[in-house]
Amino acid sequence: QSALTQPASVSGSPGQSITLSCTGTTSDIGVSNYVSWYQQHPGKAPKVMIYEVSNRPSGVSNRFSGSKSGNTASLTISGLQAEDEADYYCVLYTNTGTWVLGGGTKLTVL
Amino acid sequence: EVQLAESGGTFVQPGGSLRLSCAASGFTFRNYGMTWVRQAPGKGLEWVSYISSTSGTIDYADAVKGRFTISRDNVKDSLFLQMSSLRAEDTAVYYCARVAAGALFNWGQGTLVTVSS
């Protein structure tokens, strides 16, 4: 199972909306609804921000939203804030019972 | 409140063995699958292993298959990772995580394993 592809870095200004992408294949992301997104600040454990493509856990800001189109899942952050600066990972739970992770995107808030 | 607390990480020489533990609280441990995920210094996350709620399903990443063994004790609400034949590339912070809805819903704070001569 190949890793999912994420851009290494993305940047945006406060107040802007940005979209992080996560690309797989027709046989993984393309057929699965078990895509999740995680935020990780330096030195901290990851935190789930989106699960099942577009569901938000309780306590996660509604500025975070998820979607999927074909082989690509996306995480959109609206009203960008300084505290959003972190690494973001997409994760896929496959139909073979394993997890495949993206390489992560470093989000910089300018 | 869900809490996961890893322990057991330390410095070990190549070829050595180590057992990590993850103590769970705040949820009904026996009802959930659990995973181990690791993160090498300055690198991204890497899934290591999964165990279902009853231990009936166990999976490993290719990088650790045959060297690592995941297990759990549903009486003591604990998850374990027995690591052997350790290599330098196994150096990482190891996180345990609770699985729900196909996602890694809760994470511990991690425990650092350093493999070096």
Q: In whole numbers, what is the pLDDT of chain A averaged over residues? A: 94
Are the beta carbons of B105 and A48 separated by less than 8 Å?
Answer: yes
User: What whole-number distance in Å separates Cα of residue B110 and Cα of residue B3?
Assistant: 12
Q: Is the pLDDT of residue A1 over 70?
A: no
- Lowest mean pLDDT segment, chosen from A24-38, B10-24, B47-61: A24-38
By CB neighbour count within 10 A (0-12 exposed, 13-18 middle, 19+ buried), where does B50 fall? buried
Q: What confidence score (pLDDT) does residue A95 get?
A: 78
Q: What is the distance in angstroms between the Cα of B104 and the nearest Cα belonging to chain A?
A: 7
| Residue A26 banded pLDDT, cuts 50, 70, 90 | confident
DSSP H stretches of helix in chain A:
none
pLDDT for B42-95, tens place per residue?
Answer: 999 999 999 999 999 999 999 999 999 999 999 999 999 999 999 999 999 999
List, as one string, the DSSP characters of B22-84.
EEEESS-GGGS-EEEEEE-TTS-EEEEEEE-TTS--EEE-TTTTTTEEEEEETTTTEEEEEE-
Percent of chain B scoring above 90 in pLDDT: 100
Pick from A48, A98, A104: CB nearest B47 = A98
Alpha-carbon span A76 to A46, nearest angstrom: 18
Q: Looking at residue B4, what DSSP letter applies? A: E
Chain-chain contact of B101 with A55 (C-beta, under 8 angstroms) = yes
Inter-chain contact B50–A99, Cβ cutoff 8 Å? yes
Testing the interface with B: which of A4, A96, A99, A101 to mutate, by most B Cβ within 10 A? A99
